[in-house]
């Protein structure tokens, strides 16, 4: 039996001597695994459409209980990302997160659209890489059901203040007065407290990312003085709730110690473009 669907390749793993197992994110069936026969061979015509963060049209056949790729044609491969090590690493991390939070036999249309929009923004350079990454992390929490409640204080209901506090583990806001009152009480047994201090401009950005239209979640105005905390808070919030570390994220962080790599790469690319002209 043949099946046809569109999907984003999240990961590939070797299988046997020349085959590969692909993890593909689809809108209707969620995360699925398919076999790419001869995927390690350059002669496989579908191989170029079956690499990580490639969005493709698939035709699969199901024999022996495992679907295998009969045909695959590329819809979007985000080529600019692949020319830059930091962007490639960010894209792999994004796919890694999606592979962790998405499940099989589930409607993952919202998550698929989020990943595609994020990769598009990276590919086109619509915002700084760290801004895109952070917004993706916070929006992922919202899509997957562990969004922080950023609307009002969980104790008194106050929605606006110069400073609010986000209880990361409970995912709730507290105003300064309620936080002060909470500090006077004995700590709850088994509750690990991690607080983020959110001044109003930073809280407004996080509210926008969580609650805005899915197509416009990156259209926020981030004041420069809050940028580093925004990056840090979004990453920590997601990691706390998925309860997992990602090797792709560790590698992405390691690249910050080697900024000359991307600089030299960009220079070479600019020099090549100038020569072609």
- The answer to whether the CB of 85 falls within 8 A of the CB of 255 is yes
Say how many Å lie between the first and final Cα of the chain, rounded: 51
pLDDT value of position 12: 94
Domain 2-126+245-260 in this protein, CATH class? mainly beta
Chain centre distance of CA 140 = 7
CA atoms within 13 A on the CB side of 25: 27
Every domain range in the chain assigned CATH 3.30.40: 144-222
Mean pLDDT (whole number) for 106-115: 97
- Each residue's pLDDT tens digit, 41-98: 767 888 899 999 999 999 999 877 789 999 999 999 999 999 999 999 999 999 999 9
Q: In the predicted model, what is the mean pLDDT of residues 106-129?
A: 97
| Architecture field, domain 144-222 | 2-Layer Sandwich (3.30)
Compute the mean pLDDT over every residue in the chain, rounded to the nearest whole number. 90
Q: What is the dihedral of CA 211, 217, 219, 220, to 10 degrees?
A: 50
CA–CA separation, 18 vs 41, rounded Å?
A: 7
Torsion angle (degrees, nearest 10) of CA 132, 135, 141, 142: -120
Q: How many CB atoms lie under 10 A from the CB of residue 274?
A: 8
Nearest by Cα to 223 from 257, 198, 191? 198
pTM over 0.75: yes
- For CATH 2.40.50.140, the residue range(s) in the chain are 2-126+245-260
Q: Where are the alpha helices (DSSP H) in 149-224?
A: 176-183, 200-211
Residue 257 binned pLDDT confidence (cut-offs 50, 70, 90): confident
For 201, the 3-state DSSP assignment is helix
């Amino acid at each position: 039996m043949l099946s046809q669907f569109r999907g984003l390749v999240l990961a590939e793993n070797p299988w046997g001597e020349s085959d590969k197992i692909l993890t593909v994110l689809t809108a209707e069936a969620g995360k699925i695994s398919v076999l790419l026969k001869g995927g390690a061979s350059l002669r496989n015509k579908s191989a170029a459409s079956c690499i990580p963060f490639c969005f493709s049209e698939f035709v699969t056949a199901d024999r022996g209980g495992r679907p295998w790729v009969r045909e695959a044609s590329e819809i979007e491969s985000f080529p600019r990302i692949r020319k830059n090590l930091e962007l490639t690493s960010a894209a792999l991390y994004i796919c890694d997160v999606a592979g962790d939070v998405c499940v099989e036999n589930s409607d993952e249309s919202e998550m698929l659209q989020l990943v595609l929009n994020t990769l598009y923004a990276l590919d086109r350079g619509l915002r700084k890489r760290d801004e895109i990454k952070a917004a993706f992390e916070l929006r992922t929490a919202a899509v997957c059901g562990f969004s922080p409640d950023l609307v009002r204080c969980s104790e008194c209901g106050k929605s606006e203040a110069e400073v609010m506090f986000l209880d990361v583990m409970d995912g709730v806001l507290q105003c300064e007065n309620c936080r002060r009152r909470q500090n006077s009480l004995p700590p709850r047994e088994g509750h690990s407290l991690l607080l983020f201090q959110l001044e109003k401009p930073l809280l407004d950005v996080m509210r926008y990312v969580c609650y805005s239209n899915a197509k416009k979640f990156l259209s926020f105005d981030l004041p420069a003085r809050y940028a580093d905390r925004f990056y840090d808070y979004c990453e920590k919030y997601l990691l706390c709730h998925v309860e997992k570390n990602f090797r792709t994220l560790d590698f992405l962080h390691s690249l910050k110690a080697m900024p000359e790599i991307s600089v030299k790469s960009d220079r070479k690319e600019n020099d090549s473009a100038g020569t072609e002209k």
